[in-house]
Amino acid sequence: AAATTCYVATHPRVSGVSGRYFADCNEASTSRLGASETAAVRLWEISEELTTATPERHVVRSC
């Protein structure tokens, strides 16, 4: 699992690639659930509730 993360973070072949899904060091298709806009919105809402982080309440401080 770490090999894919390291590959995507450092390999020149995928430099500038963004918003893609990788598995086993290769670009791969996401599952239907992973590509669901409805599921993404719901996950965001639940994450806001659990962390109390909202666009109005910045939780990361500038350096």
Report the pLDDT value the prediction gives residue 57, as an integer from 0 to 100.
Answer: 67
CA–CA–CA angle 18, 22, 1 (5° rounding) = 125
- Res 60: pLDDT: 61
Which residues, in sequence order, are CB contacts of 28 under 8 Å at separation 6+?
A: 21, 22
Tens-level pLDDT at each residue, the chain (63 residues): 699 999 999 999 999 999 899 999 999 998 998 889 999 999 989 998 888 876 676 656 665
Residue ranges of the domains in the chain?
A: 2-51
